[in-house]
Structure 1
Amino acid sequence: MAFAHFSSPSAPVVLPDGDYDLVKILVVGPFGIGKTTAIDAVSEIPSLHTEEPMTQAAASVDDLVVDSKTTTTVAVDFGHITLPTSRIVLYLFGTPGQERFRVIWNDIRQGALGALVLVDTRRLAASFEVMDLLEEAGLDYAVAVNQFPDTPEHDLDLVRSKLDLENRTPLVICDARDRQSVLNSLRTLADHLVSRAGDDSP
């Protein structure tokens, strides 16, 4: 049975008063990319993580490439963050990164306006599937290169080329452990979604 883990901020936060747009955003990427960490770092409310311990039984179906990882998301991560200057509240939904949880992905993506895609330069090919899913669903997204301690630095133009990203797709550097870094990535995504509103181009 999956267990729900709640992490608490220093003080409880409720939705802001006034006229704010409430927007559903997906935080996506392959297994072990930092989705849970990112939502936990930035959420204003106690973030919800539905996780299971990892066992060797999953080795035949999952790519267990991440050292020292002991649990995995099996349903959803959830948190929210307010962008006061844009008067937007982002509801953040993290999705499982393994192919076997695709049925959950199909449910979670309903009603989402866009997505933040976390990638790792050491395994960029692992990100293609989730970007394909977003494009099939017609969801705009921004890409954030998560900086792991042993991640080599790469020029963003090279990363854009390797990921075959369109010029209009935002590409930023992010540290999923750092609140301000994740917040900056989400602001970039929000600005992109606002600029794309009403744009009928594919």
Structure 2
Amino acid sequence: MDSKPSSSSPAALPAPVYLPAEDYDREKILIAGPFGIGKTTAIETVSEIKSLHTEEVMTHAAADVDDLHVEDKTTTTVAIDFGRLTLPQAGIVLYLFGTPGQERFRPMWRDHALGALGVLILVDTRRLDDSFDVMDLVEESSLDYAIAVNQFPDAPEYDLDIVRAKLDLEDHTPIVTVDARDRGSTLNALKVLTAYLITRAGDVPS
């Protein structure tokens, strides 16, 4: 039987985004936070290349270890998410690694943190207590971090100073709001983190 040509043309592949020819610094940044906080979405939103995700469908077998009631959450990251972002004005290429938020993935944390410059920690004002385990991991690894309050539609809005107090953050730790679905918002949060990390590294003249 002769094959027939498809009636519709295949979708054009997006143009590849290559690394800049200039001598940019290349840094590893972690996107961390509790389960269902928006890490995968944030990386997918801001990555200049097709992001890599290692997700599996959630089942009731995980009911004893995961909160299956997170709204619209049907999959979970089981290894990493990965994306890439170039910041031309800063002369930096960021390699973005999203880390699983569940406690059972704690043994993987040392590998994830190895070589990282810093961490963007996403939090949800509806369940701030869920953020402390992740913050403990980050602080135990001696990594600098910024907090990004992901703005879910039904989440209560607090003044950032109140969130800072509830999370017991040091005065110098940046805290911003973010909509992980919005590229500009997520890009701003990463720029705030990057500027903070450069300052902490002593690369900015006083």
- TM-score of the superposed pair, with normalisation by structure 2: 0.90
SS in 1 for 2:127: helix
Query: CA–CA distance in 1 between the matches of 2:69 and 2:188?
Result: 28
1:54 corresponds to 2:58: yes
Query: Structure 2: how far apart are the matches of 1:99 and 1:65?
Result: 17
The 1-side partners of 2:14 and 2:151 are apart by: 25
Q: Which amino acid aligns with 2:162?
A: L
CA contact (8 A) 1:45 1:79 kept: yes
Q: How does 1:96-175 map to 2 (within 5 A)?
A: 96-175=100-179
Task: Give 4+ residue runs of structure 1 displaced > 2 Å after superposition.
Answer: none
Tell me the distance in 2 between the aligned counterparts of 1:151 and 1:183.
21
CA distance in 2, matches of 1:127, 1:73: 17
- Alpha-carbon distance in 2 for matches of 1:188, 1:133: 21
CA RMSD for the aligned pairs?
1.3
Tell me the equivalent position of 1:192. Answer: 196
Q: Count residues with an aligned counterpart.
A: 191
Corresponding residue for 1:3? Answer: none
TM-superposed CA distance for 1:10, in Å, is 4.4
1:180 aligns to 2:206 (yes or no): no
Instruction: Map Cα deviations across residues 22-62 of structure 1 (whole Å, 9 max, x no partner).
Output: 00000000000000000000000110000110000001112
CA distance in 2, matches of 1:11, 1:146: 30
**CA deviations over 1:51-91 (Å, ceiling 9, x no partner):** 11000000111233312211000000000101110000010
Alignment partner, residue 99 of structure 2? 95
Q: Distance in 2 between matches of 1:124 and 1:64?
A: 17
What does residue 66 of structure 1 align with? Answer: 70
What is the CA deviation profile of residues 111-136 of structure 1, one whole-angstrom value per residue up to 9, with x for unaligned ones? 10100000000000100111111111
Over the matched positions of the two proteins, sequence identity in percent amounts to: 70
Instruction: Provide the secondary structure at the position in 1 that maps to 2:78.
Output: strand
Q: Determine which structure has more spread, i.e. the larger CA radius of gyration.
A: 2
- How far apart, CA to CA, are the structure 1 residues paired with 2:164 and 2:176? 10
Question: 1:29 — aligned with what?
Answer: 33
Per-residue deviation, residues 129-188 of structure 1 (Å, max 9, x unmatched): 111111110000000000011112110000000000001000000000000100000000
For residue 121 of structure 1, give the secondary structure of its aligned residue in structure 2. Answer: coil
Deviates more, 1:126-135 or 1:190-199: 190-199
Distance 1:178 1:10, change over 3 A: farther
1:104 maps to amino acid: M
CA contact (8 A) 1:12 1:44 kept: no
Q: Which runs of 5+ in 2 are unaligned?
A: 1-12
